[in-house]
């Protein structure tokens, strides 16, 4: 079993997720079977009930896992589907240890962090790792955080039991007032890691500026590492170029050597290089507005933004993606929406900003602006049509107006009387049957598989009224409406699923390609 443990130092949000994903891509490009695990030390069972302002988007796996957004990075870089097993939280392991104790599985022993909790952490890592040549394990948080200690101890123990490589990602700040890179914070971070019992095999120095030779020497000296094991990783405008930055410094060679991975094979990154070149060098521009309510945090729409970038690269055009505040639309109106070539109505929960999203949908419908509604966005397209085309006064979703006279969106029977929020929605990948229409043309097949995360659905009692008025239902799953289209519009598509979760750099989501193409045709 071969493992690469990625830890973080000094501060969070350094880009350990992108680093881990890039390492996975490099190792896969050399012919290895690679998977990645994200460990989150928080006590939540999963990310499903977490506020986007605190933690960014919730990424949904095909098997219905509500996971950390880093799983999305992993899938996009590896171009593979991962599962809920690839996201391990403190909440999961503590709960399972307690359940095992209640079942008497510890035979009366005093249950402790070591060995019982750490043994379970190792067990969960091995469940994934045994199926692959190499597994990258990213430990969230920062060395020194009290909640990370059991996971770091498990990582230390696994270094004694399995072939392991320890990579520490730490912040190396550039102090503008003196024009100098400072290594002291990272020196202390490495010292803290050693106190835990882990000597890093390589160090990634994250910072605003490229690492100077002097700083590299100092970091190598105080980390007890050869110079080649200190890897500079300065800020890049395009995160998809990070694998090349690491490859230039031969980080993957270091991993091959330490893990005894055998004969070197050349990297095969031509397709990735072509994608990156199209992202950076495409000519022309198309402006895309994402209407949401978490606009202060771009990570709340991370997969959505990346899906637009993938589509732009495919069409060799640069998408300019801007987040539009739905609450602001309620106050100021939609006059500024004329500046966008296409609109995406994002998903979400809660009543805040709903009328702003509906006003954006109305603007796009009346002014022939290409529009894609996703999950809640599709539901609000239904509400807007019911109010303004079918003239159903006060039509709404039961989620926001339980007593609406026209519940065109309603709660499914199996979602009623649920007494807990976590993992109770319609989640994960399901097959969708497509009828003739634009969506089927874009996908090029009758049956597709896309991921879901919602509780409310289109109310089939209003189905005939919608179709007679021109809004066609062209996608279904077991009688549930999945896709709506209006053929008289340049691009007017609403989908109940989340196509952004399955969009990949080398295989962009068809709906996003279609949206951008319609926007370009309209310019």
Pairing of strands 202-207, 230-234: parallel
Phi and psi angles of residue 501, each rounded to the nearest 5 degrees, phi first: -70, -25
Give the catalytic positions in this structure.
375, 498, 500
- The Cα 73–Cα 38 span in angstroms is 11
b/e string for 342-372 if b means 16 or more Cβ within 10 A?
A: bbbbbbbeeeebbbbbbbbbbbbbeeebbbb
CA distance 390 to 95: 50
Q: How far is CA 507 from CA 75, 137, 165, 221, in A?
A: 12, 25, 31, 44
- Alpha-carbon distance of 35 to 24, in angstroms, equals 7
Strand 230-234 and strand 180-181: the pairing is unpaired
Query: Are the C-beta atoms of residues 156 and 126 closer than 8 Å to each other?
Result: no
Q: How many CA atoms lie within 13 A of 17 on its CB side?
A: 21
What b/e readout covers 414-429, taking b as 16+ CB neighbours within 10 angstroms? Answer: eeeeeeeeeeebbbbb
φ/ψ bin of 372: left (φ > 0), alpha (ψ from -120 to 50), beta (otherwise): beta
Beta-carbon contacts of 67 under 8 Å, excluding residues fewer than 6 positions away, are 38, 46, 47, 58, 59, 60, 61, 84, 86, 87
Check residue 342 and report its DSSP letter.
Answer: E
CA angle 382, 321, 305 (to 5 degrees): 75
Peptide bond into 115 cis (omega under 30): yes
Q: Where are the alpha helices (DSSP H) in 14-69?
A: 16-29, 52-55
Copy the structure tokens of residue 493.
């598509």
- Residues in CB range of 175: below 8 A, 6 or more apart: 181, 182
Cβ atoms of residues 494 and 459 within 8 Å: no
Q: What is the C-alpha separation between 81 and 122, in angstroms, rounded?
A: 22
Beta strand 426-434 with 407-411 is unpaired
What is the 3 state secondary structure string of 9-22? ECCCCCCHHHHHHH
Please give the structure tokens belonging to residue 179.
């024009």
Distance CA 186, CA 189 (A): 5
Which tokens go with 219? Answer: 């970091």
């Amino acid at each position: 079993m071969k493992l690469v443990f990625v830890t973080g130092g000094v501060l969070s949000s350094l880009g350990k997720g992108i680093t881990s994903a890039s390492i996975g891509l490099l190792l896969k490009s050399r012919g290895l079977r690679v998977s990645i695990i994200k460990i989150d030390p928080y006590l939540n069972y999963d990310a499903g009930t977490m506020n986007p302002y605190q933690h960014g988007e919730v990424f949904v796996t095909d098997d219905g896992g509500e996971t950390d957004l880093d799983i999305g990075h992993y899938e996009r870089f590896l171009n593979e589907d991962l599962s809920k097993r690839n996201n391990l939280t403190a909440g999961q392991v503590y709960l399972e240890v307690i359940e095992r104790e209640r079942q008497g599985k510890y035979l009366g022993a005093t249950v402790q962090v070591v060995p019982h909790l750490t043994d379970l952490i190792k067990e969960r890592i091995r469940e994934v790792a045994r199926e692959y040549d190499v597994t990258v394990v990213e430990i969230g948080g920062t060395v020194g955080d009290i909640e990370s200690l059991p996971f770091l101890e498990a990582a230390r123990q696994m270094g004694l039991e399995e072939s392991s490589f320890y990579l520490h990602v730490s912040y190396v700040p550039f102090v503008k007032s003196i024009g100098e890179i400072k290594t002291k914070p990272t020196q202390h971070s490495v010292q803290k890691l050693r106190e835990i019992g882990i000597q890093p095999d390589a160090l990634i120095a994250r910072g605003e500026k490229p690492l100077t030779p002097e700083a590299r020497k100092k970091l190598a000296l105080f980390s007890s590492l050869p110079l080649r094991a200190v890897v500079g990783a300065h800020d890049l405008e395009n995160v998809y170029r990070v694998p090349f930055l690491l490859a230039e410094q031969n980080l993957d060679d270091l991993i091959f050597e330490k893990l005894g991975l055998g004969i070197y094979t050349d990297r095969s990154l031509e397709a990735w290089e072509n994608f990156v070149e199209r992202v950076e060098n495409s000519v022309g521009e198309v402006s895309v507005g994402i209407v949401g309510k978490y606009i202060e945090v771009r990570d709340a729409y991370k997969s959505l933004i990346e899906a637009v970038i993938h589509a732009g690269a495919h069409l060799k055009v640069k998408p300019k993606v801007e987040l539009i505040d739905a609450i602001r639309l309620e106050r100021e109106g939609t006059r500024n929406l004329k500046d966008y070539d296409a609109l995406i109505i994002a998903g979400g929960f809660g009543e805040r900003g709903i009328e702003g999203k509906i006003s954006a949908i109305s603007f796009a419908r009346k002014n022939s602006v290409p529009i894609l509604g996703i999950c809640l966005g599709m539901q609000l397209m239904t509400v807007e049509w019911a109010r303004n085309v079918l003239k159903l006064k006060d039509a709404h979703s039961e989620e926001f107006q339980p007593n609406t006279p026209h519940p065109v969106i309603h709660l499914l029977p199996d979602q009623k009387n649920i007494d807990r929020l976590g993992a109770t929605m319609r989640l994960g990948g399901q097959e969708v049957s497509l009828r003739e229409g634009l969506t089927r043309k874009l996908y090029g097949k009758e049956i597709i598989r896309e991921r879901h995360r919602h509780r409310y659905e289109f109310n089939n009692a209003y189905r005939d009224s919608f179709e007679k008025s021109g809004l066609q239902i062209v996608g279904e799953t077991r009688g549930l409406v999945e896709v709506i289209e209006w053929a008289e519009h340049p691009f007017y598509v609403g989908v109940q699923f989340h196509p952004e979760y399955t969009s990949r750099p080398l295989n962009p989501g068809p709906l996003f390609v279609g949206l951008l193409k319609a926007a370009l045709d309209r310019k």
